[in-house]
Amino acid sequence: MTSNAESGPASGNGPVGTSGPTRSLWLNLLKRSSIAAASGLVLCAIPAGLLNGTTGAVSSFLGGLLVMLFFGISLLVGHFVGRRNPSGAIGMFVATYFIKVVGFAVVLFVIGAPEWLHGRWFVIGAVVAVVLWQAAEIHGFSRARLQIYNDPEDREASDA
């Protein structure tokens, strides 16, 4: 049976399948975001290398890798905690965020920036990674299938 309003293939009598929830949401987001950010960092390293040599290219790549590590830890926490305790995942995100901010701050103040690090390219690499990572996460979340309601019960089985 087809509609006269729109052209298209004829409807069939076959069963309509369900897609179900997205498997491993956090790992999928980690993969998508890592690929997007790494691709951007490779493209960012090209002008950095041309303008400031190896120092610029390595600095931009390290800035982006630091961002990827920062965000990647959160997604891994979401994956492992979300499986066991989905309602506790948000609390763990907050705790992990606090630990990461304090931890990265301590490391940066104790170790400091090496002399060879090119500060401008480090920041540019970090900004590129943040923008691409967040864009990939938003796109991944928009494509995720999250089950909000429980599946309806089978009435025939409950009547028997």
Residue ranges of the domains in the chain? 37-142
Q: Which pTM does this prediction carry?
A: 0.73
The pLDDT value recorded for residue 106 is 87
Cβ 100 vs Cβ 84: under 8 Å: no
The pLDDT value recorded for residue 44 is 94
Side-chain half-sphere exposure of 48, counting CA atoms within 13 A: 28
Burial of 65 (0-12, 13-18, 19+ CB in 10 A): middle
The pLDDT value recorded for residue 47 is 95
The pLDDT value recorded for residue 132 is 97
pLDDT tens digits for the chain (160 residues)? 555 555 556 656 666 555 555 567 889 999 999 999 999 999 999 999 999 999 999 999 999 999 999 999 988 988 888 778 877 878 888 888 899 889 888 888 888 888 888 989 999 999 999 999 999 999 998 887 766 667 677 666 555 5
